[in-house]
Amino acid sequence: MYTTSKKPVLLVIAHGSRDPRHAATVHALVRRVRSLRPDVRVETGFLDFNIPSVQGVLESLAAEGVEEIVALPLLLTRAFHAKADIPAVLRDAPPRLRIRQAEVLGPSPLLLTALERRLYEAGLTPADKSSTGVVLASAGSTDPEAIAVIAEIAREWRHTGWCAVRPAFASAALPRTEDAVRELRALGCERVAVAPYVLAPGFLPDRIALGAAEADVLAEVLGPSPEVARVLLKRYDAAHMPLLAAVGA
């Protein structure tokens, strides 16, 4: 029988950054996840720059006797890190561990709710939607799948009542945030808001902020918003359900 104590450990895998705000935001998000699901053990590992490393956490868990882990990429799209870096690290895990890699966080309707939360916290109201153009500003990627996902999210978000929504990228793809802001101005939107589709502060979010200089509103990053925490847990549950079925068989 599958009991609460036997639930797989949730290992949140973050990229890491030299910017201390990045790790602080990741830890704040993990604290929120723990508060929502105290029955699940949640650990954090970083691919680069910060400690503990993913490999170090995996070795520690194996030494404790942990057997099952759900490894969750703290990423919004399936790009290089989700497809290559993280699977490579997990393949080098101690052999006693049974690891299932969860899906990345996006896309999700909950993330759109989180984006709107940040815009309203920055000063907009629901009554402003029809007259406001929004730049959906992501970090960017060389992966065509990731770029296509961002464009599709922008199209879907437009249908919720905004004047217009345009995708933008801080690196590796075009348009840049400032160009999307100017495009929305040219379309005749009464005001322009920039919504960073990123999880934590750092170099590329700072570039998004610079590109938002001519916008009327700049929202904060998604960070430890309750919606992001709920998406994490949805991805965890979806990943460990097959483990549950196997144990109950």
Residue 81 confidence (pLDDT):
75
Residue 222 confidence (pLDDT):
98
Measured CA to CA, the distance from residue 163 to residue 167 in angstroms comes to 14
pLDDT in tens, 167-189: 999 999 999 999 999 999 999 99
Beta strands at 191-196 and 9-14: parallel, antiparallel or unpaired: unpaired
CA distances in angstroms from 86 to 17, 108, 147, listed in the order given: 16, 21, 20
Low-confidence ranges of the chain (pLDDT < 50): 1-4, 244-249
Share of the chain above pLDDT 90, in %: 91
